[in-house]
Amino acid sequence: MTNHNTIKVAVAGPRGKMGREALTMIATTDQLQCVATIDRKNEGKLIKELEGLSDLDAPIYTDVDQCFSEQDVDVLVDFTHPDVGKYHMEKALSYGVRPVIGTSGFSEEDVQHLRTMAEDKGVGAIIAPNFSIGAVLLMKFSQMAARHFPDVEIIELHHDQKRDAPSGTAIKTGEMILQTRENKSQGHSEEKELIKGARGAEYNGFRIHSVRLPGLIAHQEVLFGGEGELLTLRHDSMNRESFMQGVRMAVNTVMDLKTLVYGLENVLE
pTM of the model: 0.81
The reply to whether 148 belongs to the active site is: no
Dist CA 2 CA 255 (whole Å):
8
Q: Please tell me the distance from the alpha carbon of residue 132 to that of residue 168, in angstroms, as a whole number.
A: 13
Catalytic residue among 158, 172, 209, 219: 158
**Which of the residue ranges 52-66, 147-161, 180-194, 244-258 would you say has the lowest mean pLDDT?**
52-66
Who contacts 62 (Cβ-Cβ below 8 Å, separation ≥6)? Answer: 38, 39, 40, 41, 42, 43
The residues of the chain that CATH labels 3.30.360.10 are 133-238
Model confidence pLDDT, tens digit, residues 71-95 = 999 999 999 988 899 999 999 999 9
Active site annotation includes 140: no
Does the pLDDT value for residue 179 go beyond 60? yes
CA–CA dist 77, 37 (Å, integer): 9
Task: Name the H helices within the chain.
Answer: 17-27, 64-70, 82-94, 108-121, 133-146, 168-178, 244-254
What does the alpha-carbon distance between residue 185 and residue 205 come to, in Å, rounded to a whole number? 4
Q: Provide the pLDDT for residue 130.
A: 84
Q: Provide the pLDDT confidence category of residue 2 given band limits of 50, 70 and 90.
A: low
**What would the mean pLDDT of 62-70 be, rounded to a whole number?**
97
Percent of the chain at pLDDT > 90 equals 82
Confidence class for position 3, pLDDT limits 50, 70, 90? low
Q: Tell me which fold the domain 7-127+241-266 belongs to.
A: Rossmann fold (3.40.50)
Q: Which residues contact 268 (CB under 8 A, 6 or more apart)?
A: 133, 136, 137, 140, 249
Which CATH fold topology does 133-238 show? Dihydrodipicolinate Reductase; domain 2 (3.30.360)
Query: Would the pLDDT of 4 be above 70?
Result: no
